[in-house]
Amino acid sequence: MIYRIRTITLTGKELGTSRAKFVEAATYINANYPEVTSEILVNISGSLNQIHWVTRCESLAVLEQYEAKRNQDAKWQNIVQEWLSKVEPQDLVDNFYTIVS
C-alpha cells in the first residue's frame, strides 16, 4: 500500500475556500477513480494553515496510471483551475509512504 500525502500551505484567508474545494475534489476522485482512495486532512495543532491531501493505492504503478487518467479528465481540470483562480499556494510538498507493520 502506498500513501502520497500532498501538503499545501496557504494563507489564512485562502484556507476556508480551499477546504471546501479539496473536499469536492476528494469526493470526485473517490466517485470516479476506484483504484485510489482520497482523503483531506487538516491540522488541529501546529501549523494551522495547511491542508493535507492523502491519496492511497496499491502501488506506485497504480498511482502513476491514476495520475495519467486524472490529468486527462476535463471535469478534474475544471476543479483544479477554479481553485487556482482563487488562491496562490505558498508551498506544496509531496511525501510518499508505505506500511511496514
Task: Tell me: pLDDT of 24 over 80.
Answer: yes
How many Å apart are CA 88 and CA 97, to the nearest integer? 27
**pLDDT over threshold 90, residue 11:** no
Q: Give pLDDT tens digits for 87-99.
A: 888 899 999 999 9
* pLDDT band of 17, cuts 50, 70, 90: confident
Question: What CATH number does the domain located at 2-98 have?
Answer: 3.30.70.100
The rounded distance, in Å, linking the Cα atoms of 12 and 48 is: 8
Each residue's pLDDT tens digit, 42-91 = 999 988 889 999 999 999 999 999 999 999 999 999 999 998 888 888 89
Q: Write down the domain spans for the chain.
A: 2-98
